Amino acid sequence: MPLACPICRQTYEPEPGFYYGAMYISSGFSTGILLAIGFLLFYLAHDPPLWVYITTVAAAVLAVTPLLFRYSRAVMLYGFGGAGFDPRYATH
């Protein structure tokens, strides 16, 4: 396998700490889901018991874990890894 893309020269190996940064971004996404579901349950379900909050948030985060895994790495790559989309390379 080549070390970099032959067209755009983007390296395939991310820098050290890339996956740690992606974990922080994923944690931020999970916190956003927790807050959104918490507010929705508080206002729409009229403050249910604590076990309802825990069960609902846990089920929602587990359901979207594959998306969190993929999008946190994409945000890290495009935000901090120097990758970008150039339509000139898409034609090759």
Helix H, strand E, coil C: the string for the chain is CCCECCCCCCECCCCCCHHHHHHHHHHHHHHHHHHHHHHHHHHHCCCCCHHHHHHHHHHHHHHCHHHHHHHHHHHHHHHHCCCCCCHHHHCC
* Report field, pTM of the whole predicted structure over 0.85: no
Amino acid identity of residue 44, one-letter, is L
What is the full per-residue pLDDT of the chain (92 aa) written as tens digits?
788 877 777 777 878 888 899 999 999 999 999 999 999 999 999 999 999 999 999 999 999 999 999 999 989 888 887 777 777 776 76
Contact criterion met (CB below 8 Å) for 42 and 53: no
